[in-house]
Amino acid sequence: MKRRVVISILGTTLDVGGRDDRWKRWRPTVSLCQQSGLFVDRLELIRDNRSEALARQIIGDIEQVSPGTEVRQHLVNMRDYWDFSEVYTNLRDFARAYPFDTEREDYLVNITTGTHVAQICWFLLTEARFIPARLLQLSPPRRPKSPEDQPDLVGSHSIIDLDLSRYDAIATRFAAERDEATSFLKSGIATRSAAFNQMIDQIEKVAIRSRAPVLLTGPTGAGKSQLARRIYELKKAQRQVSGDFIEVNCATLRGDQAMSTLFGHVKGAFTGAQSERAGLMRSADKGVLFLDEIGELGLDEQAMCLRAIEEKRFLPVGADRDTTSDFQLLAGTNRDLSVSVKEGRFREDLFARLNLWTFSLPALKDRKEDIEPNLEFELRRYGEREGQNITFNKEARDAYLRFAMAPEAAWRANFRDLSASVTRMATLAPRGRVDEDTVRDEIARLRSLWSGAKPMDENEDALKDLLGADRLNAIDLFDRVQLQTVIAVCRRTNSLSAAGRELFAVSRLDKKSSNDADRLRKYLARFGLAFDACVDRS
């Protein structure tokens, strides 16, 4: 049978008793050696130099009530028993030096005596298994019913095992709360994509444990705005933020108006500034600011955003004094910001600040297994919005899902396409039930929609192969159309000079340029391309 060993701090308040009345008071260090069913083979008593006399008294009293209990003293001196760092370090050093023998001995740590800080430190050290023990909590005896009754000096005890796996109810509740949080982030949709579900699990942990900026990337319509709002609502439910959710689409901010919208302005800062404006960053104080399409911000705005993130302060337009705002930043973009950094369109220091937590939301076509649960979600949402209960008949539902999950389904606008599709079918459904005719009409409509949204020129496919989808999406439509024409000429000619002659035929006749090949080479270099890479070798 294992020997029972108790580790305990001498209680300089609770363990004190006068010369004549100490047997009339409950003293926890003495009483732990008197507990029914809890014989203590050895007591490891921790004290400091100032408590030597009290320790002698307590040890003498233990010898009378429990002669078989061995008491060993450990000298641990601390300047401040309420200093968490000092107490934890000293108790951790004690645990590191102690020769635990779990094969032969069973250890308990008494958390009844000592300061509250010491009790917390005992808990942490035991929970982390630096001390292989259970916790012992002693309770004082009940008051005598009458003055004539003999006082009970023993009290009671309870043992706490911090192995949560033994507490099924607690473990189950923790798991349920975690599942509830991740389900909340997914709007209650039972998504089936393993990669997406794993990402949401990580976002849930980050949302609850961190106030650092979070960057959400992915194509337009992938759900970045909706997820950002759900992150805010989760943090507010956890009482981590108390302010508002402020959302701004950075693609709509242009020129001086961008500075004013984000950072505010003072009265008279510029023509038309007839009153003070707080700005969105100040409005997000104690809340969450979501900068969607942050890659569209100008470099000046980016610099001020970086300062606002790092220092929680910024300068409104026309002001001579900083304004403060303590917000958490969420950012969204459909660009590859690392490419934008290389092109000089996005600040490297701001990207580094945003890139601590980056989550890439996949396109709907890459989550085909999630189309079915999202279809049900969109139907419920339509019903709540319009007050109508819309359902599919089985054949219609199967036909729609076959098309929706087929390779030909482009879902170019991602979940916006799906939401619009469900809305159309629900609106046109005869007697609130989507039938096969409704589905056939919708499939034809989607095919036509996606056919009309095909690239304006077949050379966009070649352009995508050359640049990659992210870099291609970062190029303005005006430049993209022009670049497609240039690539088409390069693909059908056999040299840089021949392509240059075709492309610059008019300006050469006007004698505006004499080196067509050099002009073409410099034009391609603007997009990081070389002529040889553009030539069709097939």
Give me the mean pLDDT over the 432-447 stretch: 91
The DSSP secondary-structure symbol of 135 reads E
List for the chain the helix, strand, coil content (%; round to 5).
50, 15, 35
Together in a domain, 100 and 10: yes
Q: How far is CA 165 from CA 26, 85, 136, 161, in A?
A: 35, 29, 19, 10
Distance separating alpha carbons of residues 133 and 47, to the nearest angstrom = 20
Give me the mean pLDDT over the 53-72 stretch: 94
Residue 334 lies in a domain: yes
CB 69 within 8 A of CB 38: no
Together in a domain, 314 and 383: no
Which value, to the nearest 10 degrees, does the dihedral of the CA atoms of residues 325, 326, 331, 336 take? Answer: 90
Together in a domain, 234 and 356: yes
**Predicted pLDDT of residue 181:** 66
Distance separating alpha carbons of residues 136 and 394, to the nearest angstrom = 62
Interval 326-381: pLDDT, tens: 999 999 998 889 988 998 989 999 999 999 999 999 888 888 898 998 899 899 88
**Predicted pLDDT of residue 457:** 42
Domain boundary among 360, 392, 419: 360
Together in a domain, 273 and 341: yes
CB 276 within 8 A of CB 264: yes
CATH of the domain at 119: 3.40.50.10770
Q: How far is CA 19 from the centre of its chain?
A: 60
Q: Bridge partners of 434?
A: 392
Of residues 318 and 273, which shows the higher confidence score?
A: 318
**How would DSSP label each residue in 239-253?**
TS--S-EEEEEGGG-
Residue 167 lies in a domain: no
**Predicted pLDDT of residue 163:** 60
Together in a domain, 356 and 374: no
Which value, to the nearest 10 degrees, does the dihedral of the CA atoms of residues 486, 489, 492, 498 take? Answer: -110
Residue 131 lies in a domain: yes
Interval 482-535: pLDDT, tens: 888 888 888 777 788 888 887 877 666 555 556 888 888 888 888 888 888 777
**Predicted pLDDT of residue 255:** 65
Together in a domain, 495 and 519: yes
For residue 189, is pLDDT > 60? yes
Give me the mean pLDDT over the 455-484 stretch: 70
Give me the mean pLDDT over the 94-106 stretch: 93
Interval 443-464: pLDDT, tens: 999 988 887 644 444 556 677 7
CATH of the domain at 400: 1.10.8
CATH of the domain at 223: 3.40.50.300
Together in a domain, 266 and 385: no
Together in a domain, 219 and 318: yes
Calculate the average pLDDT of the chain.
84
290: part of which helix (H) or strand (E)?
strand 288-292
**Predicted pLDDT of residue 71:** 96
Token pair, residue 64, equals 């009378």
Together in a domain, 209 and 61: no
Q: Bridge partners of 75?
A: 47
Residue 14 lies in a domain: yes
**How would DSSP label each residue in 416-454?**
HHHHHHHHHHHHH-GGGEE-HHHHHHHHHHHHHHHHHTS
Indicate the pTM of the whole model: 0.57
Interval 269-287: pLDDT, tens: 676 677 888 888 899 999 9
Q: Is 164 exposed, middle or buried (0-12, 13-18, 19+ CB in 10 A)?
A: exposed
CB 292 within 8 A of CB 250: yes
Q: Which residues, in sequence order, are CB contacts of 33 under 8 Å at separation 6+?
A: 40, 43, 62, 65, 66, 69
Give me the mean pLDDT over the 258-277 stretch: 79
Residue 168 lies in a domain: no
**Predicted pLDDT of residue 425:** 93
Residue 428 lies in a domain: yes
> Which residues span the domain enclosing 513?
459-534
CA angle, 426 as apex, 423 and 429 as ends, to 5°?
145
Tell me which amino acid residue 473 is. N
Residue 146 binned pLDDT confidence (cut-offs 50, 70, 90): low
Residue 161 binned pLDDT confidence (cut-offs 50, 70, 90): confident
Domain boundary among 105, 129, 162: 162
Q: Evaluate the CA torsion angle 335, 337, 343, 347 in order and state its sign.
A: positive
Together in a domain, 422 and 520: no
Distance separating alpha carbons of residues 405 and 389, to the nearest angstrom = 25
Together in a domain, 47 and 193: no
Of residues 257 and 233, which shows the higher confidence score?
A: 233
Q: Evaluate the CA torsion angle 451, 454, 456, 458 in order and state its sign.
A: negative
Residue 134 lies in a domain: yes
Q: Is 445 exposed, middle or buried (0-12, 13-18, 19+ CB in 10 A)?
A: middle
Q: Evaluate the CA torsion angle 73, 75, 79, 83 in order and state its sign.
A: negative
Give me the mean pLDDT over the 199-225 stretch: 89
Give me the mean pLDDT over the 413-422 stretch: 90
Domain boundary among 452, 487, 504: 452
CB 138 within 8 A of CB 156: yes
Together in a domain, 214 and 339: yes
Rg (CA), the chain: 36
For residue 152, is pLDDT > 70? no
For residue 70, is pLDDT > 50? yes
Number of domains in the chain: 4
Distance separating alpha carbons of residues 246 and 327, to the nearest angstrom = 10
